[in-house]
């Protein structure tokens, strides 16, 4: 996102987030996190001043393909990420295989052990379970029906309207945000449908692979549409996605803010949180329902993971306006990276722990449960405390709760926080998010490494996102960024990294 975290999530996309930051797959997590560090800008700056600054720094803004523009400086060489065109093409092909592999390597028929894999190779893997078809019509209808429901709910339900950041031309887009209301509508429809016998959440386990396949196909189709439509007249292109290389731009995303319905339906912001994050929680609840139907009770391990991840999803939806300042929304185009991350990676890989607990029941001691709770509380306190402090400082730096914070004045006219949560390290919110990731995996016990895929992947994702943010901030702030780094020395983990 953010993971979209991310995701849309405050930590990634998240892959976000979080999420999920997605790779920037998320959501982000995001599923939502903005570029570090937190900053406050003067709201009184005129659009004319904004445009003059951007004209002086053409490399830092997206380009609007509406009229020829005379360059004011020699064009810089394209800066590729993710290994350039070859890396982007490889990721586009490999990511779906990773989703399938997590089921192939660990399911109700067995789970790969590191020692067995080292000795016997792929022969040690259980393979796809016979009870899970790779594709069938019912699973496809369930997955695509969910997408249709969220789209209709987003369009039909009222929402708050928020303006995004200032665009290169000096204007701002208005976003309709109603992810939390769509979540409430989902709960109501789900409860009524379950009571009436129309909805059976236990089916998500049997149809897991079928739904995965349907959403992979959907994400490729959506990405193809996004790439093709980005060549239309008057499209605002993302700086990083306008390289001219088809494979790279398809992955990163060419158009910055693709919209439908005369500009009222923002595809990227919608996908960032609503279908992927709520769908992730529905998969969790489906696995819990299957456990109850099979064993007559929901285990403490399952209950903890569902509660933790449910709280995370609700938190992201409740704080949905925060995604408007994230890198996923302000900088990255909408292509395969975010489309696949939001709609496939987040729900189908982040729900791995609940699926594992269903297929490999865990009997945890009271001490183990207490440790998991402690880890979750510490992670959430850091995550929410840091993001709340950042958002409050951005919206009202004179608020007594943040007015005491020390700041570094930049030549751009903005201020960078160098005390409080953001004085500990440059991405303190990422650290809180990663600590929570451990709390989601620890209920799975220690028999297999596969259920710890999320915490391993997420750590790599956050380190990569930190590097991306650092490069962007160095370009943006110049010498002021070096001054900031001399004050806030640690990137992710205090006294370590």
Q: What is the pLDDT of residue 9?
A: 43
Cα–Cα nearest to 11, from 397, 471, 464: 464
Q: Measured between alpha carbons, how far is 145 from 151 in angstroms, rounded to an integer?
A: 10
Query: Under a CB-based contact definition with an 8 Å cutoff, are residues 17 and 7 in contact?
Result: yes
Q: Measured between alpha carbons, how far is 216 from 89 in angstroms, rounded to an integer?
A: 16
Measured over all CA atoms, what is the biggest interatomic distance in the chain, rounded to whole angstroms? 70
Q: Measured between alpha carbons, how far is 495 from 493 in angstroms, rounded to an integer?
A: 6
- Alpha-carbon separation of residue 7 from 153, 220, 349 (angstroms): 20, 18, 11
Query: Under a CB-based contact definition with an 8 Å cutoff, are residues 274 and 175 in contact?
Result: no
DSSP state of 78: P
Q: What is the pLDDT of residue 471?
A: 87
Q: What is the pLDDT of residue 300?
A: 95
Q: What is the pLDDT of residue 76?
A: 54
Q: What is the pLDDT of residue 459?
A: 92
**Interval 233-282: pLDDT, tens:** 888 898 888 899 999 999 999 999 999 999 899 999 999 999 999 999 99
DSSP state of 75: P
- What contacts 430, CB < 8 A, 6 or more positions away? 11, 12, 33, 462, 465, 466, 492
| Cα end-to-end span (Å), the chain | 23
Q: What is the pLDDT of residue 170?
A: 79
pTM score of the predicted model: 0.80
- What contacts 352, CB < 8 A, 6 or more positions away? 102, 106, 450, 451, 453, 454
Q: Measured between alpha carbons, how far is 27 from 304 in angstroms, rounded to an integer?
A: 22
Helix axes 428-441, 366-395, angle to 10 degrees: 150
Structure-token match 């992979």, residue found = 216
Q: Measured between alpha carbons, how far is 178 from 162 in angstroms, rounded to an integer?
A: 11
Question: For residue 265, what are the β-bridge partners?
Answer: 260
Question: For residue 417, what are the β-bridge partners?
Answer: 407
Helix axes 453-477, 479-487, angle to 10 degrees: 130
Cα–Cα nearest to 27, from 339, 251, 336: 339
H or E stretch covering 266:
strand 265-266
Cα–Cα nearest to 301, from 112, 111, 439: 439
- Kindly provide the residue ranges of all beta strands, DSSP E only, lying in 113-198, ordered along the sequence: 160-163, 174-177
Quick one: CA torsion of 265, 269, 272, 278, rounded to 10 degrees? -50
Q: Residues in the chain with pLDDT < 70? A: 1-77, 118
- What contacts 84, CB < 8 A, 6 or more positions away? 248
Q: What are phi and psi of 408, to 5 degrees?
A: -115, 120
Ramachandran category for residue 205: left, alpha or beta (phi over 0 → left; psi -120 to 50 → alpha): alpha
- What contacts 456, CB < 8 A, 6 or more positions away? none
In the structure encoding, which two tokens stand for residue 401, read together? 């709760």
Q: What is the full DSSP assignment across 413-444?
A: S-EEE-SGGGGT-TTHHHHHHHHHHHHHHGGG
Cα–Cα nearest to 357, from 338, 372, 378, 335: 372
């Amino acid at each position: 996102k953010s993971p979209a975290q991310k995701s849309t999530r405050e930590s990634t996309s998240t892959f976000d987030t979080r999420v999920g930051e997605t790779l920037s797959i998320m959501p982000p997590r995001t599923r939502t996190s903005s570029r570090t560090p937190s900053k406050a800008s003067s709201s009184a700056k005129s659009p004319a001043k904004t445009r003059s600054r951007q004209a002086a720094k053409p490399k830092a803004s997206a380009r609007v393909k509406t009229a020829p523009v005379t360059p004011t400086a020699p064009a810089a060489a394209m800066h590729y990420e993710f290994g350039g065109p070859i890396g982007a093409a490889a990721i586009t092909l490999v990511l779906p295989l990773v989703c399938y592999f997590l089921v192939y390597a660990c399911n109700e028929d067995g789970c790969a052990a590191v020692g067995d894999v080292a000795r016997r190779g792929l022969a040690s893997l259980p393979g796809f379970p016979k009870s899970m078809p790779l594709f069938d019509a019912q699973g496809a209808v369930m997955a695509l029906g969910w997408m249709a429901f969220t789209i209709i709910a987003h369009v039909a339900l009222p929402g708050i309207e928020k303006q995004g950041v200032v665009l290169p031309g000096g204007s701002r887009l208005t976003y309709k945000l109603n992810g939390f209301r769509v979540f409430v509508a989902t709960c109501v429809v789900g409860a009524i449908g379950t009571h009436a016998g129309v909805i059976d959440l236990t089916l998500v386990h049997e149809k897991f692979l079928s739904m995965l396949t349907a959403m992979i196909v959907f994400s490729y189709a959506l990405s193809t549409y996004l790439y093709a439509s980005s060549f239309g007249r008057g499209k605002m292109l993302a700086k990083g996605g306008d390289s001219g290389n088809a494979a790279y731009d398809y992955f990163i995303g060419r158009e910055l803010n693709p919209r439908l319905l005369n500009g009222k339906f923002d595809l990227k912001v919608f996908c960032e949180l609503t279908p992927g994050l709520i769908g992730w929680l529905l998969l969790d609840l489906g696995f819990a329902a299957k456990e109850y139907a099979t064993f007559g009770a929901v285990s403490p391990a399952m209950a903890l993971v569902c509660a933790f991840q449910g709280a995370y999803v609700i938190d992201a939806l409740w704080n949905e306006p925060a995604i408007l300042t994230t890198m996923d929304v302000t900088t990255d185009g909408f292509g395969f990276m975010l489309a696949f991350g939001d709609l496939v990676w987040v729900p189908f890989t982040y729900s791995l722990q609940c699926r594992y607990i269903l297929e490999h029941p865990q009997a945890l001691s009271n001490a183990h449960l207490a440790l998991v709770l402690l880890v979750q509380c510490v992670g959430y306190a850091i995550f929410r405390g840091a993001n709340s402090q950042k958002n409050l400082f951005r919206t009202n730096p004179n608020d007594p709760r943040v007015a005491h914070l020390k700041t570094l004045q930049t030549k751009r006219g903005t201020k960078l926080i160098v005390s409080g949560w953001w004085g500990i390290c440059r991405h303190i919110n990422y650290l809180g998010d990663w600590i929570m990731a451990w709390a989601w995996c620890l209920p799975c016990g220690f028999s297999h490494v596969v259920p710890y895929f999320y915490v391993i992947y997420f750590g790599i994702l956050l380190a990569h996102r930190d590097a991306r943010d650092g490069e962007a901030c160095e370009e943006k702030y110049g010498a002021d960024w070096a001054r900031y780094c001399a004050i806030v020395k640690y990137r992710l983990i205090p006294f370590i990294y």
